[in-house]
Structure 1
Amino acid sequence: MTPTALRNGPPRRAVLVGGLGVRSAFGAGLAALTDGVLAGRPAFTPVERFGTAGYRADRAATGPGSPRLADQLVAVLAEAGALSDPTEQQLTSSSEELMLALHGDRRAGPVAAEVADRTGLHPRVYTGACVAASTAVADAAALIATDRRERVVVAAGYLVEPDTFAVFDAGRALAQDGAVRPFSLGRQGMLLGDAAVAVVLESAAALHRRGGRALARIAGWARTGDAFHVCRPHPDGTGLARAVHGALARAGAAPEAIGYVNANGAGSKLGDLAEAAALRTVFPSGTPPVSSTKSVHGHALEASALLELAATVGALRAGALPVNAGWQTPDPDCPLDLVLDRSRPAAPGLALTVNAAFGGANTALLVAAA
């Protein structure tokens, strides 16, 4: 454990999840997402909202039709309770701040502006690829833990669209067989998925004032960068392992306190190997139960980390662990305790959700039951 990690220490104030809104390929609400991940039921279907002729892959986890991202974000913000109490927002002056993770292209600005106009929230936009949303959660949690805010809203969204689909297909990153198979031999890559998620993070005092009930607690968080390669992860998973150790140090917890890992597990050959190496470093005597919920809801890019945080909260509340779907054959280089075939009862303790992105960026969030 590094001196810096030790100085971070446990949060001065608890960081509570006071509200959650979700839209995924499973439908509206946390319950729909939780049911899907616990059943290990992949939501991948042929893409209908744009043509895929000439592409290597043709599947993604999408909802019906061609929804507008701004509409989806406003809906999940309302569902999370971020818009329901303007008096409380004025008292705390923190719910007016929205940390919004969006795909980093020309559309991010207009989407953020429309959401701000329709909700009255003032967005700070994060576009850091697959760790954008978890970076926003870490920033929000730090503000609450250090008394600088009472409540902060974090939201993220990505809807499968032709531009990114074409880029990932051209890069041979999408699974041609239409399935995501984390940590399995024969895995062919990732598949994209829709997501819009909003999470209200707040102090116990703010939650008490409005008569709310905590859904979970963010016990620890950390992020690292290893800058090993622009695309490939460090084969030893050193950056991800350091992120997990940093989150544990902030929570004042040992690795043995972790009862479940929601892995990054995108189904890529090199990515899964690096993540397995990182988890072996953190858990040298054997990992706790591991699964990747991307195996059913797909990769939502900048929104992935928030969707996976929601899935982890849902699993803790259900007392059951998500299934690592798509798995076929053991990979000797991924010796993990994978949750296969059916859900398992959740053991007491913390849940860890991790994410990794191009450029060697890594994040780790520790979640405790409320």
Structure 2
Amino acid sequence: MRPTVRRGPDDVVVTGAAVLSAFGPGIDPLLSAALDGAPAFGPVTRFDVSGRRVGQAATLPGSPVLADELVRMIDRACDRAGLSAARRGDCPLHLAVHGDPDLPRAAAEDRAAHGADAFGRAVARRGGLSAAVRVYTSACVASSTALADAAATVARGQADRIVVAAGYLVEADQFAVFDAGRALAKDGRVRPFSTGRGGLLLGDGVVAVLVESAAAARLRRAEPLARLSGWGRAGDAYHVVKPRPDGAGLARAITDALHRAGLRPEQVGYVNAHGSGAPLSDTAESAALHRALGGAAAGVPVSSTKSVHGQALEAGALLEVVVTMAALRAGKLPVNAGYLGPDPTCPLNLVLDQAAGSSADHGLSLTTAFGGANTAILVGAP
């Protein structure tokens, strides 16, 4: 029996997307690296890492400015969608960032001008968008939460379209936090679901997408890149940083995404997993997939593209949704890079060695965050 669809009265599509990653600007170089399993990790030169345990990340050359790159990606996504300047002026912004990068070093009397909300308003103004701005700072699920909120708002008919943008550029403060917490992989590679995995590595990511109702897109004769078929969010509050071992929270998010889309587990053709390469996290995510998908979990192809582009924190989820969209359009599934061998706690059908051909219509993009936050975004062919 087909589940009841409860996503809202209107279909939701993505009509524009733009990405900046360690592979440079554009979706094509990022997808190509993901399909080849060719990681971008290398020595960090943007700031001094001489006193750190780990000195590797996936970064662009030089010191790009986050606000400038966000505005550039917003402009490119809107251009790809054919959105006129007038329509941009009425378009809200959902922005996922860690905060204003200048805040930690701002003088006390200037700190109010460098808050996350002020930063978001400035990005919206420079991007030619409306003053209706929501800023999300909820760690790794920030951009997937922003995307789910945008999709729900559009599905309910409360907005025709919303720009969702997210950005993180590897910087000294967060790098130091993850290094001190021994979360970074000392061997310079991210090895999701593999034996011998040693943790995550950070990576640059700046992304923007235009989320739109299918009806509004048709009126503009805009070609959808993908359909946002379903979304789910759940919290388990198991531990400050450790994932719940049985994956119950993430499983609820997956189940809710399928419910919204009216799909059965066996209709999921690919999973772009959170797959951070952390020992406990990958094991819990594997449990979540089996809990949510049942018997279908053994056959669905799985990979984590963090194995090539790294962990982009607040921007990571949206970056991975765009990779998932592009992979479905290309009919090829990204490689789970860095793999050394099977781990019995991660019994998944991993895409190994080379990109897998696929005719899948739907892919899941999964994200988890410290504190027990979990999101699932179900992407469909347009």
C-alpha deviation, 1:111, in angstroms: 3.2
Matching residue's letter, 2:43: P
Distance in 2, matches of 1:328 and 1:257, equals: 29
> Corresponding residue for 2:372?
360
Which of 82, 95, 98 is residue 103 of structure 1 equivalent to? Answer: 98
Amino acid at match of 2:87: E
What is the rounded CA distance, in whole Å, between the counterparts of 1:222 and 1:69 in structure 2? 29
Shift of 1:114: 2.8
Matching residue's letter, 1:237: G
In 1: Cα distance, 2:369 partner to 2:329 partner: 28
SS in 2 for 1:20: strand
* Structure 2 residue 119 is the aligned partner of structure 1 residue 118: no
Work out whether residues 264 and 353 of structure 1, in 8 Å CA contact, stay in contact via their aligned partners in 2. Answer: yes
* 1: CA distance, partners of 2:128 / 2:162: 14
Deviations 1:3-57 (A, max 9, x none): xxx7872432110000001000111111111111111110101001111102111
Given candidates 48, 53, 56, the residue that maps to 1:51 is 48
Aligned to 1:3: none
Aligned to 1:350: 362
| Distance in 1 (alpha carbons) for counterparts of 2:299 and 2:77 | 33
Alignment of 1:84-163 (within 5 A): 84-89=83-88, 93=90, 95=91, 97-104=92-99, 106=103, 108-121=116-129, 122=131, 123-163=133-173
Q: 267-276 or 198-207, which moves further after superposition?
A: 198-207
Find the counterpart in structure 2 of residue 170 from structure 1: 180
Match of 2:337 in 1: 325
Q: Distance in 1 between matches of 2:319 and 2:15?
A: 16
| Paired AA for residue 361 in structure 1 | A
The CA deviation at 1:268 is 0.3
Superposed, 1:68-83 pairs within 5 Å as 68-81=65-78
Residue 249 of structure 1 deviates from its aligned partner by: 0.4
C-alpha distance in structure 1 between counterparts of 2:84 and 2:15, whole Å = 13
Answer with 63-72 or 75-84: which moved more: 75-84
Q: Which runs of 5+ in 1 are unaligned?
A: 1-5
Q: Which moved more, 1:58-67 or 1:102-111?
A: 102-111
1:293 equivalent among 296, 305, 319: 305
Name the CA distance, whole Å, in 2 between partners of 1:304 and 1:56: 23
Amino acid at match of 2:187: D
Q: Does 1:15 align with 2:12?
A: yes
Residue 84 (structure 1) shift? 4.8
1:337 Cα offset (Å): 0.2
Deviates more, 1:163-172 or 1:204-213: 204-213
CA distance in 2, matches of 1:59, 1:143: 39
Which whole-Å CA distance do the structure 1 matches of 2:151 and 2:15 have between them?
12
Q: Distance in 2 between matches of 1:167 and 1:109?
A: 24
Between 1:321-330 and 1:207-216, the stretch displaced more is 207-216
Structure 1's 258 and 269: CA in aligned 2 closer, same or farther, altered over 3 A? same
Superposition deviation, residue 206 in structure 1:
1.8
Q: Distance in 2 between matches of 1:223 and 1:306?
A: 15
1:346 shift after superposition = 1.5
2:318 corresponding residue in structure 1: 306
Mapping 1:204-215, distance limit 5 Å = 204-215=214-225
* Count, aligned residues: 362
Residue 89 of structure 1: how far off its partner (Å): 3.8
- Corresponding position: 1:25 with 2:22: yes
8 Å contact kept, 2:141–2:368? yes
Counterparts of 2:68 and 2:286, CA distance in 1: 38
**1:209 to partner: Cα distance:** 2.7
SS in 2 for 1:304: helix
Instruction: Name the CA distance, whole Å, in 2 between partners of 1:10 and 1:84.
Output: 25
CA–CA distance in 1 between the matches of 2:124 and 2:10? 28
| Maintained 8 Å contact 1:279/1:287 | no
* Residues 157-166 or 98-107, more deviating: 98-107
TM-score by length of 1: 0.94
Counterpart position of 1:193: 203
1:280 aligns with 2:290: yes
CA distance in 2, matches of 1:188, 1:287: 26
Cα deviations by residue, 1:87-122 (Å, 9 ceiling, x for unpaired): 2346xx4x1x10000014645345324312312323
Deviation readout 1:297-323 (Å, 9 max, x if unpaired):
000000000000010011011110000
User: What is the TM-score with the length of structure 2 in the denominator?
Assistant: 0.92
Partner of 1:341: 353
Structure 2 regions of 5+ residues with no counterpart? 104-113
Q: Secondary structure of the residue that 2:19 maps to in structure 1?
A: strand
Aligned to 2:110: none
Q: Is the 8 A contact 2:7 2:152 kept in 1?
A: no
Q: Post-superposition shift, 1:204? A: 1.8
In the alignment, structure 1 residue 238 sits paired with structure 2 residue 258: no
What is the aligned-residue identity percentage? Answer: 56
